[in-house]
Amino acid sequence: MKENPLRSKRAEAAVTLPSFVWLALFFAVPAFIVLAFTFHGHTANGGVGEWSLSTWRELVDPDYPAIVWNTLRISFEVTLWCIILALPCAYAIARMNKRWRAIVAGSIMLPFWTSFVVRVFAWKTMLHPDGWLQTCYFSWLKVSDWLFDWLPGFMQRFLVWAGFASNAPLDAASSTILDSEAAVVLVSVYSFLPFAIMPIYTAAEKFDFSLLEAARDLGAKGFYAFRKIFVPGIRQGIVSAVLMVFIPAIGSYVIPQMLGGTNCVLIGNKIFMRAMQNRNIPHASALATLMAVSVLVPLGMAMYWKKRQNARTSRRLERETARMIVGRGGEA
């Protein structure tokens, strides 16, 4: 065993080096360059200026905080819808027999064999102002407007303040679904839903459904048993699903770019705009740093929460998340 060349340091270096150097050079080093650029000013001709804190000071001033908040809010909305839809779906698939389970789980991932951009383009064509989805959207606006009037005043003010609702009166000409936030949420849910269903389904598959029967025997019925027995039993899967949707939603760029128009500009679009159109490299870097933080915070929180609960399940979550990420096909 001692002279086994596979255990030698030289062999280790030789096998590790290619990928290590590649990823260090093209992943780690660029990350530090981004961080370094945030502490530079920018020059008028699109270059990077002297060392200074001006970039960070400028971030507070213009509309950046609003954009960061909008991105977080929309990602939250998308995640919520995905989980609400994924829970009953995962439950239904897990209750099927083995043959059907494989077929349905496969057919949930099948749409991902078409190009992501082409699918978003199909949505764009579908959301045309003369289309039936526009009619649905306007009716929905009217209903929600009516519901909004029923809410108590402080809630109305809170929803308007947080950006979930608006005080402006409805008018058909300006309420097109294309180039609206609703389109971005709808298509984001469409794109990320399978990544919410799969981890929840994986957890539900291992769930012991006789527990639900026992609960029913003891008098817990329908939704109560679902909420009190099923949901806690698959918590692991729900946490993975939230991460699988929330993180790509934060980094979302193509969907708001193609469907949000000027009404839904998220951090991703702003980064692209600053980097490619205005040539303000330090600002783009600072926004990218903000995005990295908003991704790492929920991830760190999930990890910490799991670690405190149980070190072993934490590793399983990590592994499972890795597996789910590896199993995905679309945009991150």
The interface with another protein within residues 149-188 (CB under 8 A) comprises none
| Region from 7-15, 141-149, 151-159, 309-317 binding another protein, contact rule CB under 8 A | 7-15
| Closer residue to another protein, CB minimum distance, 165 or 258 | 258
| Closer residue to another protein, CB minimum distance, 165 or 196 | 196
Residue 123, both tokens: 């949505």
Q: Binder to another protein among 49, 175, 295, 314 (CB under 8 A)?
A: 295
By CB under 8 A, residue 73 contacts another protein: no
Least distance to another protein, CB of residue 123, Å: 6
| Closer residue to another protein, CB minimum distance, 13 or 151 | 13
Least distance to another protein, CB of residue 220, Å: 13
Instruction: With beta carbons less than 8 A apart as the criterion, state whether 125 and 259 touch.
Output: no
Q: What is the 3-state secondary structure (H, E, C) of the chain?
A: CCCCHHHCHHHHHHHHHHHHHHHHHHHHHHHHHHHHHCCEEECCCCCEEEECCHHHHHHHCCCHHHHHHHHHHHHHHHHHHHHHHHHHHHHHHHCCCHHHHHHHHHHHHHHHHCCHHHHHHHHHHHCCCCCHHHHHHHHHHHHHHHHHHHCCHHHHHHHHHHCCCCCCCCCCCCCCCCCCHHHHHHHHHHHHHHHHHHHHHHHHHHCCCHHHHHHHHCCCCHHHHHHHHHHHHCHHHHHHHHHHHHHHHHCCCHHHHHHHCCCCCCHHHHHHHHHHHCCCHHHHHHHHHHHHHHHHHHHHHHHHHHHHHCHHHHHHHHHHHHHHHHCCCCCC
| Closer residue to another protein, CB minimum distance, 116 or 148 | 116
Q: Binder to another protein among 103, 143, 170, 332 (CB under 8 A)?
A: 332
| Closer residue to another protein, CB minimum distance, 127 or 165 | 127
| Closer residue to another protein, CB minimum distance, 236 or 321 | 321
By CB under 8 A, residue 241 contacts another protein: no
Instruction: With beta carbons less than 8 A apart as the criterion, state whether 183 and 177 touch.
Output: yes
| Region from 57-65, 139-147, 243-251, 308-316 binding another protein, contact rule CB under 8 A | 243-251
By CB under 8 A, residue 268 contacts another protein: yes
| Closer residue to another protein, CB minimum distance, 117 or 162 | 117
The interface with another protein within residues 181-210 (CB under 8 A) comprises 190, 193-194, 197
| Region from 137-145, 160-168, 169-177, 269-277 binding another protein, contact rule CB under 8 A | 269-277
| Region from 1-9, 56-64, 231-239, 306-314 binding another protein, contact rule CB under 8 A | 1-9
The interface with another protein within residues 91-120 (CB under 8 A) comprises 91-93, 95, 104, 107-108, 111, 113-120
Least distance to another protein, CB of residue 2, Å: 12
- Give which of 287, 290, 297 is closest to 42, Cα–Cα: 287
Provide the CA 203 distance to its chain's centre, in angstroms. Answer: 20
By CB under 8 A, residue 18 contacts another protein: yes
By CB under 8 A, residue 147 contacts another protein: no
| Closer residue to another protein, CB minimum distance, 129 or 141 | 129
- Give which of 194, 197, 198, 199 is closest to 119, Cα–Cα: 194
x/- track of binding to another protein for residues 218-237 (CB under 8 A): ----x---------------
By CB under 8 A, residue 5 contacts another protein: yes
How many Cβ atoms from other residues are within 10 Å of residue 186's Cβ?
A: 20
